């Protein structure tokens, strides 16, 4: 596993972040987190710990109290365009991510919003599909794809924007063991900064070098993935075993 | 789960499929407008319209049985209303069955509604079976159709299957708990199911929107690869419109 030197530039800086949903549920409670460029971090915790809420803050879908900085840019309304081109978010349910009637339209959606020159578009779609091993599926329709294929296309729709930070919400959810293994192997090939929300220990160990455990909206552990995953007491108390 | 598509056969290859969607949509709409404006007594005009549709349908290689079965699904709704008019409309009586009187005016109204709806619906089915739905929506958008309508229709096309699946799963779960009874007792359960289906769809809509924003969506859909109108497309549009129009206009001299 690659060790990220401490003097590496900061990719994500979160300071004292709290978020309360409109219905009064406190989802995040004073989060402090620093992720350096090139790191791959597993964000773990039981259901309802605030993992998904936290990654929705990375590109300003949610804006809470506190400070979030991406590559030195504060996440606010003014910077949102730039930030969304840096942070690629892959949602848990691919049917939320894929809304077009054709795969290529979905993959082209991000780059087009970013204002890619038309002559580069075809190439960028083709390359993104190649990265996820789905070459040649440009004209297929999402309702004809298997769940594993939909996941891959979802990832491609984000990769097409060439994000420097990739945040994935439960990439292994609803997949059979082989599908999960294949997604793990795919994710390992990406060299960007990665934040992977998961409660699967194997997946965390395979993809990430660092693990952060969230419980009731707070960070309760943060360290090298091997140390965290060997601490049975910690895993039990965090509802991960 | 497997679903039928409203634009089944739309990805075949044929001369009709390759016509630019805007030209095709305009030609079909022109045909419908001309057909609807034709007086019902000019029966041979309708023959011309049917002939035009038959030529297009044959060239498109979409099975006739499919077109017909699709048309038959829509027709009963239109005809239920029309079928009673021969009995209720007053005028010259052509037939008496017991106390029922069938009037000539009523029969003409029935014929008028039946032939025009059959031709219009078949024309639209030919259009939607030879044009992929997304392309059709884009064509309408470029023809300055309200964007709201095309966007809603596009999303419906994408998500209707997911909502049907969700409803299907809820129904399975309900039936697994031994649900039965006559419809009046079912009403409450069905009501709850519809409500929870609505909430699920609403929440899904929220997440889809978040995912779109994450990829830089700011309210307007970007487009690419819009096809251009070629000479063949203009010719098709002109030919269909002129053929129908000449039948319609020739009435003026009779």
Whether B110 and B171 share a structural domain: no
Average pLDDT over residues B142-161: 86
Q: State whether B215 and A113 contact (CB < 8 Å).
A: yes
Whether B78 and B54 share a structural domain: yes
Whether B32 and B108 share a structural domain: yes
Partner-chain residue, chosen from A84, A87, A96, that has the shortest CB–CB distance to B208? A96
Q: What are phi and psi of A223, to 5 degrees?
A: 180, -175
Residue A204 clears pLDDT 90, i.e. is over it: yes
Instruction: Identify the contact set of chain B against chain A, taking CB-CB distances under 8 A.
Output: 3, 132-134, 154-155, 157-159, 161-162, 204, 207-208, 210-218, 222-224
Residue A1 clears pLDDT 60, i.e. is over it: no
Whether B236 and B191 share a structural domain: no
Residue B163 clears pLDDT 70, i.e. is over it: yes
Please count the CA atoms within 13 angstroms of the CA of B141 that sit on its side-chain side: 19
Extract the tokens encoding B188: 């409450």
For residue A138, tell me if it sits in a domain: yes
The distance of Cα A129 from the centroid of its chain, to the nearest Å, equals 18
For residue B222, tell me if it sits in a domain: no
We report the CATH number of the domain holding residue A226 as 3.40.50.300
**pLDDT band for position B6 (cuts 50, 70, 90):** low
Residue B133 clears pLDDT 50, i.e. is over it: yes
Q: How many domains does chain B have?
A: 2
Can you give the pLDDT at residue B91?
Answer: 74
Whether B168 and B194 share a structural domain: yes
**pLDDT band for position B84 (cuts 50, 70, 90):** confident
For residue A13, tell me if it sits in a domain: no
Chain A residues within 8 A of B211 when measuring between CB atoms? 89, 91, 96-97, 99
Q: State whether A61 and B157 contact (CB < 8 Å).
A: no
Partner-chain residue, chosen from B3, B213, B222, that has the shortest CB–CB distance to A61? B213
Chain A residues within 8 A of B215 when measuring between CB atoms? 84, 109-110, 113, 157-158, 161
Can you give the pLDDT at residue A186?
Answer: 93
Of B159 and A69, the one with more pLDDT = A69
Q: State whether B214 and A59 contact (CB < 8 Å).
A: yes
Whether B47 and B135 share a structural domain: yes
Whether B155 and B42 share a structural domain: no
Domain that holds residue B66: 21-143+227-253
For residue B83, tell me if it sits in a domain: yes
Overall residue count recorded for chain B in this entry: 254
pLDDT tens-digit map of B167-205: 888 888 888 887 766 666 678 888 888 999 999 989 988
Q: State whether B214 and A93 contact (CB < 8 Å).
A: no
Q: How far, in Å, CA of B51 to CA of B45, rounded?
A: 10
Domain that holds residue A139: 39-49+83-237
Can you give the pLDDT at residue A3?
Answer: 64
- Shortest distance between the Cα of A32 and any Cα of chain B, in A, equals 23
For residue A95, tell me if it sits in a domain: yes
For residue A78, tell me if it sits in a domain: no
- Shortest distance between the Cα of B248 and any Cα of chain A, in A, equals 39
The C-alpha angle with vertex A216 and arms to A213 and A222, in degrees rounded to 5, equals 20
- Mean pLDDT across chain A, nearest whole number? 92
- Shortest distance between the Cα of A233 and any Cα of chain B, in A, equals 35
Whether B79 and B122 share a structural domain: yes
Partner-chain residue, chosen from B133, B134, B211, that has the shortest CB–CB distance to A96? B211
pLDDT tens-digit map of A84-130: 999 999 999 999 999 887 899 899 999 999 988 888 999 999 999 99
Of A129 and B112, the one with more pLDDT = A129
Q: How far, in Å, CA of B211 to CA of B203, rounded?
A: 13
pLDDT tens-digit map of B9-34: 888 889 999 999 999 999 999 999 99
Average pLDDT over residues B55-66: 94
Partner-chain residue, chosen from A89, A100, A142, that has the shortest CB–CB distance to B214? A89
Whether B120 and B151 share a structural domain: no
Can you give the pLDDT at residue B173?
Answer: 87
Q: How far, in Å, CA of A183 to CA of A212, rounded?
A: 21
Average pLDDT over residues A164-186: 93
For residue B111, tell me if it sits in a domain: yes
Can you give the pLDDT at residue B254?
Answer: 65
Q: How far, in Å, CA of B162 to CA of B95, rounded?
A: 52
For residue B4, tell me if it sits in a domain: no
User: Radius of gyration of chain B from Cα atoms?
Assistant: 23
Partner-chain residue, chosen from B134, B207, B216, that has the shortest CB–CB distance to A113? B216
Q: How many domains does chain A have?
A: 1
Can you give the pLDDT at residue A230?
Answer: 94
Q: How far, in Å, CA of B123 to CA of B54, rounded?
A: 10
- Mean pLDDT across chain B, nearest whole number? 86
For residue A152, tell me if it sits in a domain: yes
Whether B39 and B109 share a structural domain: yes
Residue A142 clears pLDDT 90, i.e. is over it: no
- Return the percentage of chain A with pLDDT > 90, whole number: 81
For residue B82, tell me if it sits in a domain: yes
Element (H, E) at B125: helix B104-130
Can you give the pLDDT at residue B188?
Answer: 82
**pLDDT band for position B135 (cuts 50, 70, 90):** confident
The answer to whether A3 and A11 have CB atoms below 8 angstroms apart is no
Q: How far, in Å, CA of A43 to CA of B159, rounded?
A: 31
Can you give the pLDDT at residue B1?
Answer: 39
Whether B186 and B129 share a structural domain: no
Whether B124 and B37 share a structural domain: yes
**pLDDT band for position B52 (cuts 50, 70, 90):** very high
Element (H, E) at B8: none
Can you give the pLDDT at residue B2?
Answer: 46
Residue B113 clears pLDDT 80, i.e. is over it: yes
For residue B5, tell me if it sits in a domain: no
For residue A158, tell me if it sits in a domain: yes
Residue A222 clears pLDDT 50, i.e. is over it: yes
Cβ-based neighbour number of residue A102 at 10 Å? 19
Query: What residues 70-129 of chain A have any CB closer than 8 A to a CB of chain B?
Result: 81, 84-85, 87-89, 91, 93, 95-97, 99-102, 105, 108-110, 112-114, 118, 121
């Amino acid at each position: 596993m690659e060790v990220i030197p401490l003097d590496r530039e900061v990719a994500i800086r979160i300071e004292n972040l709290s978020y309360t949903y409109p219905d009064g549920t406190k989802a995040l409670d004073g989060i402090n987190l620093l992720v350096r460029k090139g790191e791959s971090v597993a964000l773990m915790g039981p259901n309802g710990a605030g993992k998904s809420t936290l990654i929705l803050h990375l590109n300003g879908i949610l804006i809470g109290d506190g400070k979030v900085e991406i590559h030195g840019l504060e996440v606010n309304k003014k910077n949102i365009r730039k930030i969304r081109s840096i942070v690629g978010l892959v949602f848990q349910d691919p049917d939320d991510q894929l809304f077009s009637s054709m795969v290529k339209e979905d993959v082209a959606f991000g780059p087009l919003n970013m204002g890619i020159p038309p002559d580069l578009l075809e190439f960028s779609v083709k390359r993104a599909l190649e990265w996820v091993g789905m070459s040649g599926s440009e004209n297929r329709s999402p309702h004809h794809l298997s769940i594993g294929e939909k996941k891959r296309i979802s990832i491609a729709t984000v990769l097409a924007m060439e994000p420097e930070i990739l945040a994935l919400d439960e990439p292994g959810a609803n997949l059979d063991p082989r599908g999960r293994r294949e997604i793990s192997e795919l994710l390992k090939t990406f060299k960007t900064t990665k934040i992977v929300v998961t409660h699967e220990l194997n997946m965390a160990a395979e993809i990430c070098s660092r693990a952060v455990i969230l419980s009731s909206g707070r960070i309760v552990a943060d360290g090298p993935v091997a140390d965290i995953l060997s601490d049975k007491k910690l895993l039990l108390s965090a509802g991960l075993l | 789960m497997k679903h039928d598509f409203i634009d089944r056969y739309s990805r075949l290859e044929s001369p009709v499929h390759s016509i630019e969607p805007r030209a095709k949509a305009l030609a079909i709409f022109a045909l419908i407008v001309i057909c609807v404006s034709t007086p019902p007594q000019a029966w041979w005009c309708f023959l011309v319209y049917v002939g035009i549709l038959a030529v297009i349908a044959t060239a498109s290689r979409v099975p006739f049985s499919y077109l017909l079965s699709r048309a038959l699904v829509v027709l009963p709704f239109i005809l239920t209303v029309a079928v009673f008019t021969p009995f209720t409309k007053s005028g010259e009586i052509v037939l008496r069955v017991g106390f029922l009187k069938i009037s000539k005016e009523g029969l003409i109204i029935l014929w008028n509604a039946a032939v025009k709806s059959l031709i219009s619906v078949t024309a639209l089915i030919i259009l939607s079976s030879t044009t992929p739905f997304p392309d059709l929506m884009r064509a309408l958008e470029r023809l300055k159709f309200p964007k709201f309508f095309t966007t809603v229709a596009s999303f419906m096309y994408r998500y209707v299957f997911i909502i049907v699946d969700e409803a299907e799963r809820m129904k399975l779960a309900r039936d697994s708990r031994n649900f039965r009874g006559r419809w009046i007792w079912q009403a409450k359960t069905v009501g709850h199911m519809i409500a929870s289906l609505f909430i699920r769809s609403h929440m899904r809509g929220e997440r889809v929107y978040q995912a779109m924003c994450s990829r830089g969506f700011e309210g307007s859909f970007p487009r690419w690869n819009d096809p251009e109108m070629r000479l063949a497309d203009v010719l098709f549009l002109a030919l269909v419109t002129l053929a129908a129009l000449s039948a319609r206009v020739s009435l003026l001299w009779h």
